[in-house]
């Protein structure tokens, strides 16, 4: 993969977005003649890639907000919010669940509402249950659709000049992997998912996400950054469980299959939103691939191993902190915090790329 994160071109999606935004606003939208939307508010929906601290209660440590990175480091969505002079705080707090954590906890996980603008929750699928958290109670983790429901029920719409970021799809492809490999009941079929059923489930998830994004647009969002499903076929988890050497699958799932599901999901999103004004598409795995191909050029020294060695209560990045780093600067120079989630250094690369696209259509409010 070519060095996408290092290029200095303007993405087509962003160019189309600014043209549509300008046209929909009648041309110039501020006195200085700048057609870009002044960002006056931000809301985030999604999964662990954009969860800004839902699992703080699960950590039992007031210094650890329970984000899926090296804590308390910043996620890419937090960097974006700061760029526009804004901040993100979690909408809910979830405690450690005994089942999701494989017995690390002793009680069912619980939830309490905090009321922030960061609705994303680790483990969230677009809609289909069960959710896929390895920390919180999957019976109560909110799907992306339910997160949006919660916001609209509370607020009715988005305020003018609002930036919305939405992620999703990665946990849906993971759920299909687990349904086939370990025969888990991730699709309401009693653990009897077939390959055809998995393909259908991914298509349904994509259709549900298109509906979510259209609801966001109809509710008044000015700019929507759609983070497409990430292809996780090259992360440390995948290198173990998608390899021919792993013999624990009832039905083996290849890295190519994860890529195919991801591409299927993302193409359905693009097709379903063609021509919708103010939508910008962001493909995170392109940034990961570029950094993997040229680590030094992206300020990284390790793109294969986890930066943290935490094991208690689990090895999840939610419990990864600077105290559990394998090297003093691993939070900035390693790609992965655990086997699935990026470090703050990697999140900076993601936000740099996303902001290069967003700054075509949006600007910091004066």
- Between 4 and 107, the higher pLDDT residue: 107
Structure-block tokens of residue 301: 């020294």
Residue 47 near residue 318 (C-beta atoms within 8 A): no
Digit-coded pLDDT (tens) for 216-254: 999 999 999 999 999 999 999 999 999 999 999 999 999
Radius of gyration of the chain (CA): 20
For residue 2, pLDDT over 70 is answered with: no
Q: Which residues are CB-neighbours of 115 under 8 A, at least 6 positions away?
A: 91
HSE value, Cβ hemisphere, 13 Å, CA-based, for 131: 28
Digit-coded pLDDT (tens) for 136-173: 999 999 999 999 999 999 999 999 899 999 999 999 99
Digit-coded pLDDT (tens) for 160-212: 899 999 999 999 999 999 999 999 999 999 999 999 999 999 999 999 999 99
Residue 223 near residue 278 (C-beta atoms within 8 A): yes
Query: If you average pLDDT over residues 320-326, what whole number do you get?
Result: 98
Among 12-16, 79-83, 102-106, 284-288, the minimum mean pLDDT is found in 12-16
pLDDT at 33: 85
For residue 328, pLDDT over 60 is answered with: yes
For residue 296, pLDDT over 60 is answered with: yes
Query: If you average pLDDT over residues 312-325, what whole number do you get?
Result: 97
pLDDT at 16: 44
For residue 325, pLDDT over 70 is answered with: yes
Evaluated on CA atoms 307, 141, 77, 215, the torsion sign reads positive
Query: If you average pLDDT over residues 263-291, what whole number do you get?
Result: 97
H/E element, 143: none
pLDDT at 121: 98
For residue 55, pLDDT over 60 is answered with: yes
- Between 63 and 23, the higher pLDDT residue: 63
pLDDT at 32: 61
**223 φ/ψ sector (left φ>0, alpha ψ -120 to 50, else beta):** beta
Q: What backbone torsions phi and psi does residue 18 show, to the nearest 5 degrees? A: -70, -35
Digit-coded pLDDT (tens) for 87-131: 999 999 999 999 999 999 999 999 999 999 999 999 999 999 999
pLDDT at 359: 95
For residue 30, pLDDT over 90 is answered with: no
Task: Report how far residue 197's alpha carbon sits from residue 139's, in angstroms, rounded to the nearest whole number.
Answer: 22
Query: If you average pLDDT over residues 264-278, what whole number do you get?
Result: 97
Query: Which residue from 275, 47, 17 is spatially nearest to 163, judged by alpha carbons?
Result: 17
Query: If you average pLDDT over residues 334-345, what whole number do you get?
Result: 98
* % pLDDT > 70, the chain: 91
Residue 258 near residue 238 (C-beta atoms within 8 A): yes
For residue 35, pLDDT over 80 is answered with: yes
Domains (ranges, CATH) in the chain? 12-22+39-361 (3.40.50.1110)
* % pLDDT > 90, the chain: 90
Q: Which residues are CB-neighbours of 89 under 8 A, at least 6 positions away?
A: 52, 53, 114, 116, 117, 118
Evaluated on CA atoms 281, 46, 355, 114, the torsion sign reads positive
For residue 17, pLDDT over 70 is answered with: no
Give residue 294's pLDDT band: very low, low, confident or very high (50, 70, 90): very high
Query: Which residue from 210, 214, 142 is spatially nearest to 171, judged by alpha carbons?
Result: 142
Structure-block tokens of residue 274: 């063609």
Torsion of CA 193, 196, 198, 204, to 10 degrees: -120
Query: If you average pLDDT over residues 323-343, what whole number do you get?
Result: 98
């Amino acid at each position: 993969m070519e060095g996408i994160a290092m290029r200095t071109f303007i993405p087509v999606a962003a160019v189309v977005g600014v043209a549509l935004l300008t046209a929909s606003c009648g041309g110039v939208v501020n006195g200085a003649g700048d057609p870009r939307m002044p960002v006056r508010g931000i809301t985030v929906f999604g999964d662990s890639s954009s969860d800004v601290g839902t699992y703080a209660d699960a950590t039992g440590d007031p210094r650890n907000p329970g984000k899926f990175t090296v804590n308390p480091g910043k996620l890419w969505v937090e960097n974006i919010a700061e760029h526009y002079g804004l901040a993100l705080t979690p909408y809910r707090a979830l405690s450690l669940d005994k089942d999701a954590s494989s017995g690390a906890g002793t009680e069912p996980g619980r939830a309490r509402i905090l009321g922030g603008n960061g609705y994303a929750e680790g483990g969230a699928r677009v809609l289909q249950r069960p959710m896929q958290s390895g920390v919180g109670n999957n019976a109560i983790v909110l799907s992306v659709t339910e997160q949006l429901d919660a916001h609209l029920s509370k607020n009715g719409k988005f305020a003018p000049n609002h930036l919305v970021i939405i992620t999703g799809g990665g946990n849906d492809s993971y759920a299909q992997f687990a349904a086939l490999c370990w025969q888990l009941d991730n699709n309401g079929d009693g653990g009897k998912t077939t390959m055809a059923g998995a393909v259908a489930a991914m298509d349904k998830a994509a259709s549900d996400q298109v509906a979510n994004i259209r609801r966001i647009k109809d509710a008044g969002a000015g700019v929507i950054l759609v983070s497409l499903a990430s292809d996780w076929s090259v992360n440390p988890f995948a290198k173990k469980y998608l390899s021919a050497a792993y013999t624990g699958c009832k039905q083996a799932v290849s890295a190519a299959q994860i890529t195919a599901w991801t591409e299927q999901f993302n193409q359905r999103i693009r097709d379903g939103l063609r021509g919708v004004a103010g939508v910008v598409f962001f493909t995170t795995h392109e940034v990961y691939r570029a950094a993997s191909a040229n680590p030094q050029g992206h300020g990284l020294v390790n793109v294969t191993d986890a930066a943290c060695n935490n094991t208690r209560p689990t090895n999840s990045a939610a419990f990864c902190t600077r105290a559990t780093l394998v090297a003093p600067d691993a939070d900035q120079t390693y790609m992965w915090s655990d086997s699935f989630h990026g470090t703050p250094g990697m999140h900076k690369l993601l936000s740099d790329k996303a902001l290069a696209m967003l700054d075509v259509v949006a600007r910091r409010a004066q």
